[in-house]
Structure 1
């Protein structure tokens, strides 16, 4: 019902705009006036505006779309700064999506690059996201939270989706949930994205449904490592064995990741902010030392013959497999 009313409003705005063009003077935009001056200084300019209303954005048209006066002013200023040529069609696509003027203004504030999009390209992105299972409600929430998704190519979205399905073995429904709750994953490096999954799967013993529930991909790999290892070294987390069993009861992943740092420290890790700060510094030093060791081992391998290289490579792969996750090389 709401979508139908929105479409009627857009059609009415487009019709009124086409039959009642607004005269635009350089450097000034009237709020809403269909009265023309008695003497037109430049008839050809007025004729041009009349025949191509879709490319003009005025305060009047923004008010017709439902923006308040203050919102219309801010939206118009942003459009002028970006010099976008297709802003009316972009706004129309967002309104037809079901977003209200306040939500659209917040989107433009977060990501001014949206002003420069073409309405047809934006609609193509929206249609593609719908095909991936992002239905009404989820799609609007995703775009409002991370409007940069509208700037990504269809190819990029497909690449991330394929990696999550084929290499991380998430179901199609789980991939949809990940994109809805953690759309920033679409811009993450694919190798780092896969490694983050492997760390949670092998090192922490967490399975895909729990990862989705805990919104794993919202956190950086360094934060994930830090929170996990802090618990582990305090004896509060244990990597499950091959049968998935542990000697202690591990806290759920969502209790580790989906809470603030204060809640994590007081209710999960039972530690202080100072202890966690010191531990974070120690972790950074350890990772830096591991990086130097990896570089040194690579230099040694380059100086050995091919057979030794093959043997060392097999041994190294076996050692990494025993740790349960791939070593992150720098």
Structure 2
């Protein structure tokens, strides 16, 4: 329904644009304007044209640039149209950049977004003004192929508009990484893109280590990672809370059979809560204790990194360095096998 409304809106704007920019002519004589009472529709258009020209805008026939009139016809309010026009006026590239801005707005309306949502989206990601329409359509189409259906797709684009500035090749590469290196299923990858679209911009080495830390050190499987939205959190956040729980005897790394002496709390209850809830309900500790622990842990990490750097500088054997260095390099040598999947 939203897409059909948007399509009608764009069609209406296109017709209005044609009416303003290219008056119909029959031979060499222009068609006479229709009249209603004592006023002509043509004079009304001329009044609008003069009004918008007073803002310093040019509405010449065939002019590809955005104007306040075209923005108003798209459904933006006066203040919204003025804001967009001012933003596009600052773009580099002159009329070419404005032409891309025009196609960007059209593509976003066809996607089913309303004027207010489009404005918020462009304020978050002004780079969209300069993306060619063909690239936008390719990227949106690729997200649909990856399982983001209507509703989910609009929410993802509204929440993280940068995702349609990322080349299709980059998104496909991240999807391949999640499937082959982390062994997420097709549906799990779709869920990750829906809940954490910023993952497409992550460094794969850091992402792999975070995954392996949670998989091997915490004994958490892929389904629980997706449910807890693991990739929304930094590695430091994950390690800090896990290490704090572990050293308080409240979390235990499972053995080879996946068994523990104690019952570990779910990853969701560790990560997907604010700090006060984590300390009160899960870690059973005070904020002061946690803050002191985090400072000490940060020193430990710095020392590990320093020692590992020294080992790498003094050794020619990269494999030995990885095995004898910090936990990060040890973990990166491990890859979960298909039989480990739930």
| TM-score, normalisation: structure 1 | 0.84
Aligned to 2:136: 122
1:59, 1:72 within 8 Å by CA — same for their partners in 2? Answer: yes
Aligned: 1:59 with 2:56:
no
Counterpart of 1:50 in structure 2 is 61
Match of 1:274 in 2: 288
Shift of 1:316: 5.8
| Mapped contact 2:311–2:321 kept (Cα < 8 A) | no
Correspondent of 1:325 among 297, 317, 331: 331
Structure 2 SS opposite 1:90: helix
2:13 matches 1:18: no
2:187 matched residue in structure 1? 173
Is it true that 1:258 corresponds to 2:269 in the alignment? Answer: no
**Within 2, Cα distance between the matches of 1:235 and 1:324?**
24
Shift of 1:324: 7.6
1:76 matched to 2:85: yes
Aligned partner of residue 46 in structure 2, secondary structure = coil
Distance 1:60 1:104 in 2: 17
Once the two structures are overlaid, the 10-residue window that deviates more, 191-200 or 110-119, is 110-119
CA offset at residue 314 of structure 1?
Answer: 5.7
Q: Is the 8 A contact 1:214 1:257 kept in 2?
A: yes
Following superposition, the deviation at residue 92 of structure 1 comes to 0.8
How many residues matched? 301
What does residue range 1-330 of structure 1 map to in structure 2 within 5 Å? 1-21=1-21, 34-35=45-46, 49-52=60-63, 55-83=64-92, 84-85=97-98, 86-302=100-316, 309=317, 313=319, 317=323, 325-326=331-332
The 3-state SS of whatever aligns with 1:127 is helix
Give 1:214 deviation, angstroms. Answer: 0.4
Task: Identify which of structures 1 and 2 has the higher relative contact order when contacts are C-alpha pairs closer than 8 Å and 6+ apart.
Answer: 2
CA distance in 1, matches of 2:78, 2:209: 49
Name segments (4+ residues, structure 1) moved above 3 Å.
313-321
Deviations 1:82-140 (A, max 9, x none): 24322111011001111111111111111111111122211111111111111111111
Task: Please report the TM-score for the alignment, with normalisation by the length of structure 2.
Answer: 0.81
TM-align CA RMSD:
2.7
Give 1:298 deviation, angstroms: 2.4
SS at match of 1:50: coil
1:165 is displaced (CA, Å) by 0.2
Unaligned 5+ segments in structure 1 are 23-32, 303-308
Q: CA deviation at 1:269?
A: 1.4
The C-alpha deviation readout for 1:52-78, integer Å capped at 9, x for no partner, is 4xx221222222212122222212211
The corresponding residue for 2:340 is none
Q: Is the 8 A contact 1:164 1:175 kept in 2?
A: yes
Contact 1:82-1:112 within 8 A present in 2 as well: no
Distance 2:283 2:75 in 1: 49
Q: Is the alpha carbon distance of 1:282 and 1:319 closer, same or farther for their aligned partners in structure 2, counting shifts above 3 Å?
A: closer
Unaligned runs of 5+ in 2: 23-43, 334-342
